[in-house]
Amino acid sequence: MHPLIKEVILSKEKIDERTKIVAKQVTEHYRSQKIGDEPIVLVGFLKGCVPFMGNFLENFELNCQTEYMLISSYGSNIKSSGKPEILLDLRIPIENRHILIVEDIIDTGITLDFMVNYFRMQNPKSVKIITMLDKVTAHKVDIKADWKCFDVEDQFLVGMGLDVNERFRNLPYVAVVDVEKLATWKW
Ligand code: IMP
Ligand code: MG
């Protein structure tokens, strides 16, 4: 294991198992809304959403289309700049569409809050949120995921799409970074 990895907190098996369960709940929700064949617009924020989006898609049973946006809210470091900026926008109109945001992790919640408001201004039929991880004690705004796989502590995590300095996104598990080592780490 890489020396910057302190502890694995979620194995691939655990994530897969839980994603299956939650994807079923999401499927049931939209089924109960009787939206018919209308494709749900799944929106992922690059780059962190990719592994979880893949995992979720495998288990989501309804008609959907996948769209991606690029939002910057973090610098290259482990602290949020708190000012989300849309670097790559949607290229479809979302008026009257059902939007499901597929997020990797909620930390301060600032990015999601900003994005939910941004979508709402465009008059979609609904905006829902599913997140793989939720740092509940780190929220700085009042935002709640409609579905989540795991609550996690307020620690800096990598793997399953999460990075530090663009590394570790490909780890097939979620792990805690050794922030003491990171402070003086030479890449
Ligand atoms: P928020 O706006 O503070 O909620 O941060 C949202 C984004 O910051 C997430 O979608 C991630 O891309 C990134 N982020 C938050 N916490 C972590 C972490 O522990 N590791 C890696 N990226 C994170
Ligand atoms: Mg993200």
| Ligand located closest to 71 CA | 2
Phi, psi of 17 (to 5 degrees): -60, -45
Residue 135's pLDDT is: 98
Q: Does the residue 59 lie in any domain?
A: yes
Task: Answer whether 159 contacts ligand 1 (Cβ < 6 A).
Answer: no
CATH code assigned at 122: 3.40.50.2020
Range of the domain at 89: 12-152
Q: What is the count of structural domains for the chain?
A: 1
79, 110 contact by CB (below 8 A): no
Q: Which of 107, 113, 142, 146 is catalytic?
A: 107
Assess whether pLDDT exceeds 70 at residue 77. no
Q: Is 109 in the pocket of ligand 1 (CB under 6 A)?
A: yes
Q: Does some domain include residue 173? A: no
Nearest CA to ligand 1 atom 12: 48
- How confident is residue 72, by pLDDT bands cut at 50, 70 and 90? confident
pLDDT category at 70 given cuts 50, 70, 90 is: very high
142 catalytic, yes or no? no
Q: How far is it, in rounded angstroms, from Cα 138 to Cα 107?
A: 6
Residue 51 lies in a domain: yes
Q: What percent of the chain has pLDDT over 90?
A: 91
Whether 157 maps to a domain, the answer reads: no
Contact 131, 149 (CB under 8 A): yes
Residue 75: pLDDT over 90 = no
In a domain, 105, yes or no: yes
**How far apart are alpha carbons 11 and 171 in whole angstroms?**
10
Please provide the average confidence, as pLDDT, over all residues in the chain.
95
Q: Is the pLDDT of residue 181 over 70?
A: yes
161 lines ligand 1 (CB under 6 A): no
Average pLDDT over residues 50-68: 98
Residue 125 lies in a domain: yes
Atom of ligand 1 nearest to the CA of 84: 2
Across the range 21-48, mean pLDDT stands at 96
